[in-house]
Chain A
Amino acid sequence: MSELILTVLAIAGLQADSAALRRLAAERDSLEQTYQAALRAAGDQHPLDTLATDGLVVVVPARFRRAFGAALGEVAPAWLSLFEQVPPVLTIATRGSFVEGDLTLVGSRAAGAPTFGFSRLGYRLEVTPAAARRMLWTALAGYLDTEADSALLRWTPGVLPRLELVPDGDVAYQLATAPGASSAACRRGNRAQCAVALGLEGPLAAKELPRGTRAALLAWALEAGGAGAWSRLVAHPDEPIALRLAAAARRPDGAAVVADWLDAVGAARSGAEFAGTGGWVAGTGWLLIASLAVAGLRRRP
Chain B
Amino acid sequence: MGPECQQTRDLLDAYLGDELLVETAHQLHRHLNYCAACRDELDRRRRTALLFRELGTERAPATLRARIIEALEQASVSTSREASGTRRAWWPQRWVKHLRAMLEDVIGSVHIRRAVLALLVGVLVLWIVWAPREHTISAAELLTRAEAVDAALYRDAAVTRTFDVEEWDVAGRLIGRHRVEVARQGALVARRLRDRSGRVTGGAWSTGDGHSQIYRLGASGPLPPVTREDRPSLRSLVEVPWHIDASPSAFVALVRLDLTRVTESTGSYLVEYRAPWLTSAVAAHPVVERATLTLDRPSLRVIRQTVTVREGDVVRELRYLERAFSRVGPDDLPQATFEPDAGLMPAPRAALEATRPRVPVRAVADEGEGLGREVEVLRRLDAVGALFGEQISVERSPDGRVTVDGVVDDAARKAQLQSALSSLAADGRVRIRIETGAERVQQRSDPSPNETTFRQVEVETNRFAAADLVQRHLQTEKDMVAWPEIQRFADGLLTGSRQALVRSWALERLTTRFPPERLRSLNPDAHATWLTLVVGHARAIQYEASILRLTVGPLVAAPHGAGDASAWEEAESQTPEEFAGALVGAASATDEAIREAFAASAIPVTPADLQIAREEFWTNLRRLEVLAARVAGR
Q: Do A and B come from one complex?
A: no
On B, residues with C-beta under 8 Å from A are none
On A, residues with C-beta under 8 Å from B are none
